[in-house]
């Protein structure tokens, strides 16, 4: 799973990226052995099951604070989007290749309207952020359309002559973009394209097919950034009105970064995603810093409930991608050989079975699977049992 971060220059994308990835924080070793220059580790926040067992966990990867567990995810900072990217202009080809790898995209939008789609500074509220969202949406949609239309006339004739099922052809053509066989089949059925010969599909048919497949495989959540600038609420309402089907989360990446840095230096107690913080040592703060923290508390945290950064990342993983957090454990033992309590937590795709989980832990465990136990309920479960978020599973082998 890769969460892609996109946005125009000066939208606050880099600040969001640094805040979400806890850049520079002292954490346990990360589970990604090779991290490219534009990759980093972000963290989703969950209620840790250690509280259920009355214990404090010791994560191997990530960390846990006050029974709030932060589980690592791979984040990719995608740059280089320019008008005409789907035609290969600018760094368009590289941008699209990067975004192809992402399972979900977080679009950082300057909701204050103080920068345009090119990242140029303008007067606050003078630029309509709806333009930026339309811009990204169109680039992605026309990129998908271009892939489908490549050699389409020949492909359509071949399907008719060889009586090939259209959904299977589309699936194979778009599988590198995350399109599944079932996804292709259902989309063609909804568009009633199964009732038409591929040679008779119109430009509008292909366009609607491309757009729907893009929405299914590259969902976009909008981080309406810079809510710390007065008047931004009006633009957020514009975004919600223009894109009623999108998840739009107000956020202030600058505020989140400031809070995490203050917490890192021991000035405040702050858990990412929470609605308040506690100053530990006011003597370390000058008047300007105190005013800045108070501004964040009054104008961001109290007003919106959080800075929005953690909410955006959690929504991408759990609401959009529907992943679930599963812990390996044992009914009689929650520790590893070193005595660490519940050291591991895996983010698994929806409809993960007990057998899937066994293979995720290790291929040998999957191959030697005998049965599984739900540790919380202390009950056996079948190998095809669908696991739920927060389950603790013991795998017994032959």
pLDDT in tens, 192-203: 998 899 999 999
The answer to whether 118 touches 9, Cβ cutoff 8 Å, is yes
Whether 101 and 8 map to the same domain: the answer is: yes
pLDDT tens-digit map of 341-376: 999 999 999 999 999 999 999 999 999 999 999 999
Residue 98 scores a pLDDT above 50: yes
Whether 161 and 245 map to the same domain: the answer is: no
Distance CA 271, CA 386 (A): 31
Instruction: Give the residue ranges of DSSP H helices in 201-345.
Output: 203-217, 232-242, 253-264, 287-296, 302-304, 309-314
pLDDT exceeding 70 applies to what percent of the chain? 92
Q: What is the pLDDT of residue 32?
A: 40
Is 287 inside a domain boundary? yes
Whether 116 and 186 map to the same domain: the answer is: no
Q: What is the pLDDT of residue 31?
A: 43
Q: What is the pLDDT of residue 39?
A: 80
Residue 388 scores a pLDDT above 70: yes
Residue 79 scores a pLDDT above 80: no
Nearest to 119 by CA among 9, 7, 12: 9
Average of per-residue pLDDT values in the chain: 89
Distance CA 10, CA 322 (A): 31
Strand partners of residue 324: 348
Burial class, 306, CB count within 10 angstroms (exposed 0-12 / middle 13-18 / buried 19+): buried
Q: What is the CATH number of the domain that holds 181?
A: 1.10.8.470
The structure tokens listed for 250 are 């107000």
Is 8 inside a domain boundary? yes
Residue 325 scores a pLDDT above 90: yes
Length of the chain: 398
Number of neighbours of residue 192 by Cβ within 10 angstroms: 9
Residues with Cβ < 8 Å from 368, sequence gap 6 or more? 397, 398
Number of neighbours of residue 168 by Cβ within 10 angstroms: 13
The answer to whether 163 touches 202, Cβ cutoff 8 Å, is no
Distance CA 229, CA 225 (A): 9
Q: What is the pLDDT of residue 77?
A: 85
Q: What is the pLDDT of residue 326?
A: 98
Is 297 inside a domain boundary? yes
Distance CA 188, CA 194 (A): 6
Nearest to 60 by CA among 356, 317, 346, 359: 346
Is 326 inside a domain boundary? no
Distance CA 292, CA 358 (A): 48
pLDDT tens-digit map of 298-311: 999 999 999 999 99
Q: Between 86 and 262, name the one with better pLDDT.
A: 262
Domain boundary among 198, 216, 234: 216
Distance CA 291, CA 198 (A): 64
Strand partners of residue 253: none
Distance CA 316, CA 332 (A): 35
The answer to whether 129 touches 110, Cβ cutoff 8 Å, is yes
Whether 98 and 120 map to the same domain: the answer is: yes
Number of neighbours of residue 71 by Cβ within 10 angstroms: 23
Q: What is the pLDDT of residue 28?
A: 39
Is 325 inside a domain boundary? no
Whether 8 and 120 map to the same domain: the answer is: yes
- In this prediction, residues 5-15 reach a mean pLDDT of 84
- In this prediction, residues 2-25 reach a mean pLDDT of 81
Nearest to 176 by CA among 201, 204, 143: 143
Is 387 inside a domain boundary? yes
Distance CA 75, CA 73 (A): 6
Residue 26 scores a pLDDT above 70: no
Q: What is the pLDDT of residue 24?
A: 45
Count how many domains the chain has.
3
Whether 202 and 227 map to the same domain: the answer is: no
Q: What is the pLDDT of residue 161?
A: 93
Nearest to 221 by CA among 4, 54, 2, 53: 4
Burial class, 271, CB count within 10 angstroms (exposed 0-12 / middle 13-18 / buried 19+): middle
Between β-strands 68-77 and 2-7, what pairing exists: parallel, antiparallel or unpaired?
A: parallel
Q: Confidence band (pLDDT; 50, 70, 90) for 221?
A: very high
Whether 23 and 154 map to the same domain: the answer is: no
Whether 13 and 95 map to the same domain: the answer is: yes
Between β-strands 369-374 and 392-397, what pairing exists: parallel, antiparallel or unpaired?
A: antiparallel
**Which structural domain range is residue 275 located in?**
2-128+219-318
Q: What is the pLDDT of residue 97?
A: 77
């Amino acid at each position: 799973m890769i969460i892609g971060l996109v946005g125009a220059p000066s939208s606050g994308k880099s600040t969001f990226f640094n805040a979400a990835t806890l850049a520079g924080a002292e954490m346990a070793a990360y589970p990604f052995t090779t991290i490219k220059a534009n990759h980093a580790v972000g963290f989703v926040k969950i209620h840790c099951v250690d509280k259920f067992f009355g214990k404090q966990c010791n994560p191997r990867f990530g960390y846990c604070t006050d029974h709030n567990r932060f589980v690592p995810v791979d984040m990719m900072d995608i740059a280089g989007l320019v008008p005409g990217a789907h035609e290969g202009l600018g760094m368009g080809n590289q941008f699209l290749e990067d975004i192809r790898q992402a399972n979900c995209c977080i679009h950082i939008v300057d909701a204050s309207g103080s920068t345009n789609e090119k990242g140029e500074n303008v007067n606050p509220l003078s630029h309509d952020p709806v333009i930026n969202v339309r811009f990204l949406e169109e680039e992605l949609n026309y990129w998908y359309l271009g892939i489908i239309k490549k050699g389409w006339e020949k492909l359509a004739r071949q399907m008719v002559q060889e009586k090939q099922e259209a959904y299977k052809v589309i699936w194979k053509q778009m599988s590198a973009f995350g399109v599944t066989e079932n996804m292709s089949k259902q989309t063609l059925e909804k568009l009633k394209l199964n009732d038409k010969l591929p040679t008779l599909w119109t430009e509008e048919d292909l366009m609607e097919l491309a757009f729907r497949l893009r929405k299914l495989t590259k969902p976009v959540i909008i981080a309406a950034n810079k809510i710390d600038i007065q008047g931004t609420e009006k633009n957020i309402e514009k975004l919600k009105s223009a894109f009623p089907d999108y998840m739009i989360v107000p956020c202030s990446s600058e505020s989140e970064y400031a809070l995490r840095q203050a917490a890192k230096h021991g000035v405040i107690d702050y858990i990412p995603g929470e609605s308040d913080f506690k100053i530990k040592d006011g003597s370390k703060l000058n008047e300007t810093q105190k005013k800045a923290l108070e501004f964040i508390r009054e104008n961001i945290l109290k007003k919106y409930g959080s800075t929005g950064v953690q909410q955006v990342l959690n929504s991408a993983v759990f609401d959009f991608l529907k992943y679930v957090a599963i812990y390996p454990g044992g009914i009689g033992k929650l520790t590893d050989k070193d005595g660490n309590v519940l050291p591991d937590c895996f983010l698994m795709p929806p409809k993960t079975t007990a057998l899937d989980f066994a293979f995720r832990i290790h291929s040998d465990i999957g191959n030697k699977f005998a049965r599984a136990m739900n540790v919380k309920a202390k009950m056996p479960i079948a190998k095809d049992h669908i696991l739920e978020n927060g389950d603790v599973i013991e795998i017994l082998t032959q």
